[in-house]
Amino acid sequence: MANAKDIREGGCLCGAVRYRVDLTEATHSTCHCRHCQKTHGAPFGMFTVVPVEYFTWLSEPAGEARASDRAVRRFCVQCGTPMTWESPEYPDQQSFSSATLDDPSGLTIAYELFVSRRFPFIAPIEGAKQYQADWEA
């Protein structure tokens, strides 16, 4: 089992952006911060984090937006799908929108961020660590 890989592909809604990822060491999370709510146009964002060498772009997103100095959010300029959250604070990690996986089955959410901003009709995910704000807060 040590060498078992979980290779999957994903992409944006229109297919212009594509990637391949090994989920063997992936961590999945949700973020309820206002930036994620706004940029995803949804109650929360859902992100998968993998070691950067486990992630390969097949075709990269051209769109870049910054909601803060901490990170750039990359998106498809053709269809607007939010693809990544990339911060120089974590150069060895790749964080991408979990929902863009072609096969998003079997993902377990390890933690939830900014639950202080959670929409009142969204329940906490059972078993997931709950952080009021950032994972450092």
* Nearest-approach distance from CB 4 to Zn ion, in angstroms: 31
Helix, strand, coil percent values for the chain (each to nearest 5): 10, 40, 50
Question: Radius of gyration of the chain from Cα atoms?
Answer: 15
| Beta-carbon count within 10 A of 119 CB | 10
Cβ proximity to Zn ion, 11 vs 21, nearer residue? 11
79 counts as binding Zn ion under rule CB under 5 A: yes
Cα separations in angstroms, 18 against 21, 57, 95: 10, 6, 14
Residue 136 makes CB contacts below 8 A (sequence gap 6+) with: none
Which of 78, 99, 107, 110 is close enough to bind Zn ion by CB under 5 A? 78
Question: Applying CB under 5 A, which of residues 23, 46, 71, 76 lies at the interface with Zn ion?
Answer: 76
Nearer to Zn ion, 16 or 128 (CB): 16
The values of phi and psi at residue 112, to 5°, are -125, 135
Binding span for Zn ion by CB under 5 A among 12-20, 47-55, 62-70, 128-136: 12-20
Instruction: Compose the 13-42 pattern: x for residues touching Zn ion by CB under 5 A, - for all others.
Output: -x-x--------------x-x--x------
CA separation for the pair 29, 17 (Å, rounded): 22
- Binding-site size, Zn ion (CB under 5 A): 9
Cβ proximity to Zn ion: between 6 and 66 the closer is 66
- Summarize as ranges the residues that interact with Zn ion (CB under 5 A): 12, 14, 16, 31, 33, 36, 76, 78-79
